[in-house]
Chains A and B, each alone.
Chain A
Amino acid sequence: MMADKFSFKKGHRARAGFLIVTYVFLTLLIITMIIPMWKLFVDSVDSTSTGMQLWPKTFSLAAYQVILNNSSMYRPFLVSILTTVGGTVIGLIIITLGAYALMQKEMPGHRIFTRIVLITMMFNGGMIATYLTYKNLGLMNNLMAVILPVCVTAYNTILMRSFFESLPPALFDAASIDGCSPFGTFFRIALPLSKPALASVGLFIAVAMWNDYMHFILYITDPQWQNFQVKIRAMILEETLAVVSSDMNLGTDMLKSATIILVIVPFMFVYPFLQKYFTKGITLGAVKG
């Protein structure tokens, strides 16, 4: 921001020194962020890799082959995809509809409904009360029990409402004067104008759902429906890989590293396209609820 000219002339020296320190510090920070992942990548392609080695001496994709041939990974992966895509769609539908209704300040009961939503941000039943309630409602091993609590949250609803409120109200008035029904206004005016907000909130939901671990270990006891995170955790913890690795003459570390890299890489490809959306979404979140 303070883009003073960079120079070593007298009077600018302290400023220049400060800038150099800042650049060096931030460069080190970038390295710190990247190095753990880079190190795992090196370990995953080089079976002879030692602790301090930061460049692969030999290169082999054998570990990746082993993992991709290991069919026990497929189902958890598909469950994760299913819950993430399904959850994002369901979550967005419920949240946008609710947020749009909450925006109607003159609707009788508006305050009460807003309260009902906001209270869930502050209070919850706690882990066991929630677990027992879901169990008694027959929600165990039901994907809805993991999808809905993660995807439909008060925070995302308020975020969406803040965005709707930032749109010019005249648009909505004009539409309703022209005889557009509330649903018509919602689908023809509000949604098309909220693509950036839909992307941000959708991204938050998708990330939360993809990364969810706790809800799955609590409410899904059927191994058929465990998600990818639970599977990775099991793989890293139990030495299930040891059996495979002994056949293939690959170290367990190499396989573990390759597994983690495989989890991270797909995200890295979509990440650059998403960046502008989450910056927008999180800024929106600072608007008072």
Chain B
Amino acid sequence: MLRKKEKQKFQPAMTFRKCIHKYGAYYLMLIPLLACLIIFCYFPMVGISYAFTDYSPFHKELNFIGLENFQKLFASDGFWQAFKNTLEISTIRLLLVTFGSIGLALLLDEIGCMWFRKLTQTMVYIPHFMSWVVVASIFTIILSPQKGMVNSVIKALGGKPIYFLANRDWWRPWLYIISVWKEMGWGAIIYVSALAGVDMEQHEAATVDGANRIQRVIHVTLPAISGTIMVVFILNLAKILNLFDPVWVLQNSMVIKVSDVIETYVYRMGISSSQYGISTAAGLFKSVVSVIFVIAGNKISQKITGEGVI
């Protein structure tokens, strides 16, 4: 640390020429990356300005109309319904997947038998690699009311078949189940490796002090991996509102009320009905909420663990 400081102190201010001579190659290396990000990420951010215009494919001139799009948006029921659904679905999904992953990692940590542990890990990671399209197709067949496996069991037990994915009461629970099924194993990977780093001496000390298994998990294991949990949680917060794929592929017109989230709403408004102004406004609103989530998450992390993630 000290040496670095000294070095900086005695370094003469670099001229532009010298800087290019020394670092020119690195700037060259950066160009493709920055070009990509600027074209594909930053240009669209400028595109947010469409939210304040009456841009439409039908007439060519572009007028600035201020917040009119937002007024229209906030006045529509569909949007608020989608907003509410987004918050509920994404929060519950995030919590279930996080708890599922941590729980699974803790259980895996108890398994001494290596081959069984490996087998479990191998199996639970598989669904992550399937696209939502494939997963939705699998579950559409498994949950089908006529020949689906779940409904066959229900029928065999004397119940009535339920068309789960077109039923307002059942759609969300199944979205959660499918999400946990798909992502729990993948989420657990990081906790498994964090658990491998937990100091065994602390466990031994706790055992000597008479702590039982549950107490050890609460007082030794969980604090040891809390940093990892926080980092993962906040990284996930940034993307929990991105619900397009899972919802879009499982959604149908019967359950639109309980299943519509901002992204699917935006897609229908923007791409299907070409209402560009309003849908861009909705997207902007979503981005703002998601940024608030991340900042809030970071603040909470600072409170709990004493340091922020970002």
Q: Name the residue on B nearest A154 (C-beta).
A: B37
Q: Name the residue on A nearest B22 (C-beta).
A: A107
Return the contact of B25 from the options A127, A182, A210, A212 (Cβ within 8 A): A182
A93 and B32 CA atoms in complex are apart in Å by 9
Tell me the minimal C-beta distance from B284 to chain A in angstroms. 6
**Binary interface profile of B, 120-154, with partner A (CB < 8 Å = 1, else 0)?**
11111111011111100111111010011101110
8 A-B pairs with CB atoms under 8 Å apart are A22-B110, A29-B120, A123-B287, A129-B280, A211-B132, A213-B132, A236-B137, A267-B130
Residues of chain B with a CB closer than 8 A to A104's CB: 23, 26
Return the contact of B276 from the options A43, A132, A229, A260 (Cβ within 8 A): A132
Q: Name the residue on A nearest B32 (C-beta).
A: A94
The stretch that binds A, out of B91-99, B164-172, B193-201, is B193-201
Q: Name the residue on A nearest B25 (C-beta).
A: A182
Q: State whether A124 touches B36 (Cβ < 8 A).
A: no
Q: State whether B29 touches A186 (Cβ < 8 A).
A: yes
Residues of chain B with a CB closer than 8 A to A218's CB: 271
Q: State whether A116 touches B140 (Cβ < 8 A).
A: no
**Binary interface profile of A, 216-241, with partner B (CB < 8 Å = 1, else 0)?**
00100000000001101100100000
Check B46 for interface membership: any CB of A closer than 8 A: yes
**Binary interface profile of B, 176-220, with partner A (CB < 8 Å = 1, else 0)?**
000001000110011001111010100100000000010000000
Check B263 for interface membership: any CB of A closer than 8 A: yes
With contact pairs A25-B107, A129-B47 given, residues A98 and B34 touching in the complex (Cβ less than 8 Å): yes
Residues of chain B with a CB closer than 8 A to A170's CB: none
Check A243 for interface membership: any CB of B closer than 8 A: no
Check B238 for interface membership: any CB of A closer than 8 A: yes
Q: Name the residue on A nearest B283 (C-beta).
A: A126
Residues of A107-131 contacting chain B, CB below 8 A: 107-108, 113, 116-118, 120-131
Check B19 for interface membership: any CB of A closer than 8 A: yes
A34 and B271 CA atoms in complex are apart in Å by 37
Q: How big is chain B's contact interface, by range? A: 35 or more
Q: State whether A127 touches B190 (Cβ < 8 A).
A: no
Q: State whether B232 touches A286 (Cβ < 8 A).
A: yes
With contact pairs A2-B110, A29-B104, A104-B26 given, residues A125 and B291 touching in the complex (Cβ less than 8 Å): no
Q: How big is chain A's contact interface, by range? A: 35 or more
Dominant SS among interface residues on chain B: helix
Across the A-B interface, the 4 shortest Cβ-Cβ residue pairs: A51-B152, A126-B283, A98-B33, A125-B44
Q: Name the residue on B nearest A103 (C-beta).
A: B26
Check B55 for interface membership: any CB of A closer than 8 A: yes
Residues of chain B with a CB closer than 8 A to A108's CB: 14, 19, 23
Q: State whether B270 touches A127 (Cβ < 8 A).
A: yes
Residues of chain A with a CB closer than 8 A to B174's CB: none
Residues of chain B with a CB closer than 8 A to A116's CB: 34, 37
Residues of chain B with a CB closer than 8 A to A127's CB: 244, 263, 266-267, 270, 279, 283
Tell me the minimal C-beta distance from A141 to chain B in angstroms. 15
Residues of A1-49 contacting chain B, CB below 8 A: 1-4, 6, 15, 18-19, 22-23, 25-26, 29-30, 32-37, 39-40, 43
